[in-house]
Amino acid sequence: MVEVLDFLSDRLADSATGWSIGTFGAIAEFTRGADETAELCRSDRAISAVTVRGGLRVATHHELRLIASESPTSESWTHRVAFCLPEKSCAMSGRTELTEVGPDREALRAMDRAGVLFDLGLDTLQVDVCVRSSESEVIAALRGCAGKSVFDPASRAMSVILAANPHRVFISRVGRAEVYQSIPPPGGTSPTGPHTHVLPKLLAHRRTHAATEPLPAGWIPCAHCYPPHPMRDGLGRRHPFRHELHEAFQLILAQCGDPKRVELKRHVIDSVTAGLKPWTIPVADDRFARATIRVALRQLRAQDRQAPTLAAWLAAYDRLDQSEEANPMEAPH
């Protein structure tokens, strides 16, 4: 537990690390600026950060497993650490209708604990997607919508929420994310910093995470962190390759990644740097194995590693396959 808390504290202390709590189609993201004031706290079971724009709490759990992974994107790659629980342990309320939960006694700020929490009833496995308000008119309006799906054409719930901008609160078994910023209008752009996405078309797939994230069967991500990327900042803007950031995540990958994929990646890098030709190593016919190879090759290219057969490996293994690209719901790395 102490080692997990140390890891969480180190990540939270780094303002360049992004966070999320959610599921496929409904996600709350927490980030903060390098100069943004934040209240950081650590207890014997949890860490938290609160800014004027939002907050995050991540807690330990006796079944918690940290799983680091990488995936190719259209231009480079993305990486993350998933905080996973067994499927039998991750389940939340599973509500299917807008439901009044009551005062939010677990709110990150004392000033919000009298606010009334409403579960949107999205029937998602590992997260309860909620809104919170202290305004009597908003509370009354939402109470009038309770008992129906928020996507029911007869429900006014979403129009009430869009007009009132209540706090969004995403809760899982390992933590919660709170967003205080306004919801952008339809067609608008999400603000920088904490924000949420609720996408009915993606929710309809009933997935717990993107198909491109290589997680073992039965393990469900209840939160994620996104350590700083060596080629892009938290807004997705490209910058010169930073070796120290690359090496930092490779250490996390070595400790928390899938051992078979970590070994495959090492084998590919060794083979390319030794000047071996493509197809000289056995590769399982597995999408995640192919993705691992593509990431390894792209990282070699990004580092300007002088390997005589790198171009041949890229030609052999890095053909564009949209089905294997990282999902757009992920943080922009």
Which of these, 33, 31, 6, 91, lies nearest to 224 by C-alpha position? 31
Q: Are residues 82 and 108 in the same domain?
A: no
Q: How far apart are CA 246 and CA 7, in angstroms?
A: 17
pTM reported for the whole predicted model: 0.93
Instruction: Quote the pLDDT of residue 188.
Output: 80
Q: Are residues 66 and 143 in the same domain?
A: no
Q: How far apart are CA 175 and CA 85, in angstroms?
A: 12
Q: Are residues 147 and 131 in the same domain?
A: yes
Q: Are residues 306 and 185 in the same domain?
A: yes
Q: How far apart are CA 116 and CA 138, in angstroms?
A: 10
Find where tokens 């900042």 sit: 233
- Please check whether residue 169 is in contact with residue 104, taking contact to mean a CB–CB distance below 8 angstroms: yes
The pLDDT tens digits for 179-234 are 999 998 877 888 899 999 999 999 999 999 999 999 999 999 999 999 999 999 98
Q: Are residues 129 and 252 in the same domain?
A: no
Residue range of the domain that includes 108: 93-167
Number of domains in the chain: 2
Q: Answer yes or no: is pLDDT of 304 > 80.
A: yes
Among candidate residues 124, 142, 167, the one where a domain is terminated? 167
The pLDDT tens digits for 50-96 are 999 999 999 999 999 999 999 999 889 999 999 999 999 999 999 99
% the chain with pLDDT above 70: 95
